[in-house]
Amino acid sequence: MTRTDFTEITHSAVIRQETHGWRAKCLQRLIRLDMPVPRTVSLSFAAVRAIAAGNLPDMDRLLARFAPGQLLSVRPSPQFPDWGGPGALLNIGMNDTRHAEIAAAHGEPVATRLYLRFVQAYAQHVARLDPELFDAAEPCLPALQAALHDYENEMEEPFPQDPALQLAEVLRSMARAWEGTSARLLRQAKGAPAEAGLGLVVQAMAGGLGADNSGAGVIEFIDRVSGERRITGRFKAHGQGREALENGADTLYLTRDPRGPSLEDHSPEAFGALVRHGEIARAKLREEMQIEFTLDKGELAVLDAVPVVRSSRAEVRVAVALAEENIISRDEALMRVPPRALADLMHRQVDPRAPRDLFARGIAASPGAAQGRIVFTSSAAQASAAREEACILVRRETTPEDIRGMHAASGVLTERGGMTSHAAVIGRGLGLPCVVGASGVRVDMRERSVSVGGRVLREGDMITLDGSTGEVLAGTVPLLEPALDESFRTLLVWADARRDIGVRANADTPADAGIARGFEAEGVGLCRTEHMLFEDDRLLVMREMIFADTEQDRAAALERLLPMQRADFAHLFDIMQARPVCIRLFDPPLHEFLPHTREGMRGLADALDRPLSEITRRAEALSEFNPMLGMRGVRLGLTVPEIYDMQARAIFEAAAAVGGTRGDRVVPEIMIPLVSAVREVEMVKARVEAVAASVRAETGAEIDYRLGVMVETPRAALRAGEIAQHVSFLSFGTNDLTQMAYGLSRDDAGRFMSDYVKLGIFSEDPFQMLDREGVGELIMIGAERARVARPDLTLSVCGEHAGDPESIAFCRDAGFAYVSCSPFRVPVARLAAAQIAIAGAR
């Protein structure tokens, strides 16, 4: 080891975040801001690596930096605060001698408390002894003696008395802990590279043991949850480090407070200095900091400062406030807020301060918190909604029949399914908190109970879902309301000014479209028309259409659906004003519209006045081995062409009507699903054009529209050059494309996906983050071939991936016009797109 092993942190010392860590750098900044920071020495990443390898610095030289007998603390200093590291270790240097000295100066209890704390921490974190052995209740002399005795017993040597030895062992143990597997996994989860280094800072402990106005405290200048500016924190006389936050009996509020004594009253000068330091730190460190301080007989020392841990809502508010005060730039503000944080703001949240009674854990499929009484059927959910009583719909899995139940429920919990199961997709679409694939949960429909291990909850029991973490909590827990406040809106206005890729919303109903408009989507990128047809009045007509025996009966049913669809589309065009609306023609297999239970079949037999046996037989005949790969999309559209004819007519008539009322022209976009061959496109195109011609002739309106293809089979991507010649736009449906590229059903992948990601077989769940290597290559092949054939083609991505920042970056790199995601992800996508543009410009 050389002289550069360690560096005292001064105004002029060479301390860099990349070599000494963020804490060392932060402390130097505080020093440069003339704050009263106790003497501190920084050990670089290289030095700590050397320590781990067994090469200690010269301890005598290191200790010579401090006053003789000075107690020391050691804190971790990785490159970024959230990369973790070992906990701080205080009071290094305590031994029998120091115990006697402090006892003489401040009384035996003070000395004993310090010494016992040190022995406990040292035994646990340095000697790695069983913490329970040293978990004494009340700090008193006998407890201290017992601890020292136990230590000697276990280690077969007395507790080390030499401060140099103590410090050396602390440094060694921290250096080695950093190399451990669990520490490495933890920091890698936060994005740290494998070779990330740890720095350490050794600091003189600053008093706080003496008279009345001595002690330690922590101060913050914002509310962690709301982000509002107000001073919070605690001060504890005779305390050390963060003890004040433990809410002991003898803590002080910081500002004047009717609930008890405050530091402001008690030590107004010190308090004033602290507030001034806080202001300076905020302005110069360009961040809301939590400051750890001590008072020694009224004299202030600033020990440490870390960014305030805060809620997503506070994150947004702070970023916007700092930018509005010109402390940071708007770009900086945009970059500081993780896009996913916005999702939290749009939903109720479980109060992070509340205790949680964890019942089960599943996949966090749709963010936000919900609570209510457990129901097991859609009809129970509707009944509950009718009583205005919140309920949580619990199912093994949901089917399209559950849509009404989902509308009525506050949240959904399913035993089965993954991120893109029916429940998850619909949940996100509705903004409904949803936990799916809850492991170990067993739903018993007959018993009307849900159980995990031995624990059982029954219909009517209260339950809370945290759709942001996947936790299922028994009983009620305090929730925070959504926070679509001014800061949220401001940030997104800034984001829109920066981003260079469009963001549309997937909106299946006028209600969805309203939300999409509220979140400033630039249009509807995907309207799945079938979702309109699951509504109560339409469902029965759909079923009549499916069971029609003759062309005439089918035509009659479609004739009744036409005005309903026309009204839907008119409503949609109206809500979206001049913004583009892309309508996907009917996609799902017909059997999705049939009931799935015997009860439902019986109801349908009644409604259609046909024998039950015929209903079940026809339903069975429509069932498929692999519905995902079956008679759906354009295949159904060409086999039963009257459906698309009806939809095209509804679209054109609605466009003509709305355009007529508004005085402009509505140019709907019509998208063909599940194409695999160019002939499919040609044939649908011919029929749609024929319908347009009829409507033109009948209404005299100018009917204009754009036709496009949803590229969701690998073959459509490969044949995109041919297909492009017949259409104005292509939208890549990455859900299905992922399913087909991998040969992997999103509904069935839940069973092994988490194992696969854990084992690193898939680096990420490809339904969550677009697989650039496989699916991405198919998209690029398709985009290139389509552009060669038709350079003016509009390209986009719709589907769940479109809300994922990585995937948005992919689309921007590919030069796509827009992404289209579920309405509740629109703000996330807007921010993510801005960040990508800013990062690209840098």
Q: Which of 265, 279, 606, 777 binds a copy of itself (CB under 8 A)?
A: 777
The closest of 301, 274, 284 to 219, measured between CA atoms, is 274
Q: For this structure, is 277 an active site residue?
A: no
Strand order in the sheet with 40-43: 6-8, 40-43, 198-204, 72-78, 89-92
Residue 756 in the binding site for a copy of itself (CB under 8 A): yes
Binding mask 681-720 for a copy of itself (x = CB under 8 A): --x----------------------------xxxx--xx-
Enter the tokens of residue 622. Answer: 């429509």
Residue 628 in the binding site for a copy of itself (CB under 8 A): yes
Q: Give yes or no for a contact between 375 and 841, defined as CB atoms under 8 angstroms apart.
A: no
DSSP 777-812: HHHHHHHHHHHHH-TT-EEEEESGGGGSHHHHHHHH
Q: Which of 747, 765, 800, 804 binds a copy of itself (CB under 8 A)?
A: 747
Output the smallest distance, CB 755 to a copy of itself, in A.
Answer: 6
**Total residues found in the chain within this entry:** 842
Q: Please tell me the distance from the alpha carbon of residue 471 to that of residue 407, in angstroms, as a whole number.
A: 21
Residue 149 in the binding site for a copy of itself (CB under 8 A): no
Query: Is 504 annotated as belonging to a binding site?
Result: no
Query: Is 313 annotated as belonging to a binding site?
Result: no
Which residues, in sequence order, are CB contacts of 3 under 8 Å at separation 6+?
none
Of 480 and 716, nearer to a copy of itself (C-beta) is 716
Q: Which of 290, 509, 676, 734 binds a copy of itself (CB under 8 A)?
A: 676
Of 329 and 449, nearer to a copy of itself (C-beta) is 449
Residue 278 in the binding site for a copy of itself (CB under 8 A): no
Which residues, in sequence order, are CB contacts of 313 under 8 Å at separation 6+?
225, 226, 227, 344, 345, 480, 483, 485
Among 347, 422, 591, 801, the one annotated catalytic: 422
Output the smallest distance, CB 92 to a copy of itself, in A.
Answer: 46
Output the smallest distance, CB 766 to a copy of itself, in A.
Answer: 9
The closest of 489, 488, 468, 490 to 479, measured between CA atoms, is 468
Of 110 and 683, nearer to a copy of itself (C-beta) is 683
Indicate the burial class of 65 (C-beta count within 10 angstroms; 0-12, 13-18, 19 or more). Answer: middle
Q: Which of 748, 769, 789, 817 binds a copy of itself (CB under 8 A)?
A: 748
Q: How far is CA 357 from CA 287, 340, 349, 364, in A?
A: 34, 25, 16, 17
Q: How far is CA 619 from CA 544, 595, 601, in A?
A: 13, 9, 9
3-state secondary structure of 335: helix
Backbone dihedral angles phi then psi of residue 17, each to the nearest 5 degrees: -60, -35
Q: Which stretch binds a copy of itself (CB under 8 A): 32-40, 178-186, 549-557, 767-775?
A: 767-775
Binding mask 583-622 for a copy of itself (x = CB under 8 A): ----------------------------------------
Query: Is 765 annotated as belonging to a binding site?
Result: no
Output the smallest distance, CB 674 to a copy of itself, in A.
Answer: 6
Enter the tokens of residue 60. Answer: 């005598």
Q: Please tell me the distance from the alpha carbon of residue 623 to that of residue 617, in angstroms, as a whole number.
A: 10
Residue 721 in the binding site for a copy of itself (CB under 8 A): no
Residue 740 in the binding site for a copy of itself (CB under 8 A): yes
Residue 745 in the binding site for a copy of itself (CB under 8 A): yes
Which residues, in sequence order, are CB contacts of 13 under 8 Å at separation 6+?
7, 28, 42
Q: Please tell me the distance from the alpha carbon of residue 393 to that of residue 398, in angstroms, as a whole number.
A: 10
Backbone dihedral angles phi then psi of residue 36, each to the nearest 5 degrees: -80, 75
Of 40 and 731, nearer to a copy of itself (C-beta) is 731
Q: Which of 194, 697, 759, 841 binds a copy of itself (CB under 8 A)?
A: 759
Residue 625 in the binding site for a copy of itself (CB under 8 A): yes
Output the smallest distance, CB 798 to a copy of itself, in A.
Answer: 16
Query: Is 213 annotated as belonging to a binding site?
Result: no
Output the smallest distance, CB 645 to a copy of itself, in A.
Answer: 16
Q: Which of 548, 638, 769, 789 binds a copy of itself (CB under 8 A)?
A: 638
Q: Please tell me the distance from the alpha carbon of residue 70 to that of residue 53, in angstroms, as a whole number.
A: 28
Q: Which stretch binds a copy of itself (CB under 8 A): 48-56, 116-124, 338-346, 673-681?
A: 673-681
Residue type, 345: L
Residue 639 in the binding site for a copy of itself (CB under 8 A): yes
The closest of 767, 837, 764 to 802, measured between CA atoms, is 767
Residue 751 in the binding site for a copy of itself (CB under 8 A): yes
Which residues, in sequence order, are CB contacts of 759 under 8 Å at separation 6+?
none
Q: Which of 12, 326, 626, 663 binds a copy of itself (CB under 8 A)?
A: 626
Residue 127 in the binding site for a copy of itself (CB under 8 A): no
The closest of 728, 749, 656, 625 to 685, measured between CA atoms, is 728
CA atoms within 13 A on the CB side of 106: 22
Of 334 and 775, nearer to a copy of itself (C-beta) is 775
The dihedral region occupied by 815, where left means phi > 0, alpha psi between -120 and 50, and beta the remainder, is: left
Residue 68 in the binding site for a copy of itself (CB under 8 A): no
Output the smallest distance, CB 724 to a copy of itself, in A.
Answer: 15
Of 326 and 626, nearer to a copy of itself (C-beta) is 626
Q: Give yes or no for a contact between 290 and 254, defined as CB atoms under 8 angstroms apart.
A: no
Enter the tokens of residue 689. Answer: 């054009």
Query: Is 455 annotated as belonging to a binding site?
Result: no
Locate tokens 């992800």: which residue?
Answer: 825
Among 798, 801, 811, 821, the one annotated catalytic: 798
Output the smallest distance, CB 711 to a copy of itself, in A.
Answer: 11
Which residues, in sequence order, are CB contacts of 565 under 8 Å at separation 6+?
529, 532, 533, 646, 647, 650, 651
The closest of 426, 509, 516, 504 to 467, measured between CA atoms, is 426
The closest of 833, 16, 117, 136 to 501, measured between CA atoms, is 833
Of 470 and 637, nearer to a copy of itself (C-beta) is 637
Residue 774 in the binding site for a copy of itself (CB under 8 A): yes
Enter the tokens of residue 359. Answer: 């019942």
Rg (CA), the chain: 32
Enter the tokens of residue 624. Answer: 């498929």
Q: Which of 335, 401, 627, 699 binds a copy of itself (CB under 8 A)?
A: 627
Q: Which stretch binds a copy of itself (CB under 8 A): 304-312, 337-345, 478-486, 629-637?
A: 629-637
Of 2 and 639, nearer to a copy of itself (C-beta) is 639
Enter the tokens of residue 500. Answer: 């260079």
Output the smallest distance, CB 719 to a copy of itself, in A.
Answer: 6
Residue 773 in the binding site for a copy of itself (CB under 8 A): yes
Q: Compute how many other C-beta atoms are within 10 angstroms of the C-beta atom of residue 146.
A: 16
Output the smallest distance, CB 144 to a copy of itself, in A.
Answer: 49
Output the smallest distance, CB 630 to a copy of itself, in A.
Answer: 4
Query: Is 181 annotated as belonging to a binding site?
Result: no
Q: For this structure, is 422 an active site residue?
A: yes
Q: Which of 169, 243, 287, 771 binds a copy of itself (CB under 8 A)?
A: 771
Enter the tokens of residue 339. Answer: 């896009």
Query: Is 736 annotated as belonging to a binding site?
Result: yes
Of 474 and 629, nearer to a copy of itself (C-beta) is 629
Per-residue H/E/C for 647-667: HHHHHHHHHHHHHHHHCCCCC
Residue 762 in the binding site for a copy of itself (CB under 8 A): yes
User: Binding-site residue total for a copy of itself (CB under 8 A)?
Assistant: 48
Annotated binding-site residue numbers for substrate: 528, 584, 712, 733-736
Binding residues for Mg(2+): 712, 736
The residues that touch a copy of itself, with contacts defined as CB under 8 A, are 624-631, 635, 638-639, 674, 676-677, 679-680, 683, 712-715, 718-719, 736, 739-745, 747-749, 751-752, 755-756, 759-762, 771, 773-775, 777-778
Q: Provide the annotated binding site.
A: 528, 584, 712, 733-736
Which of the residues are catalytic? 422, 798
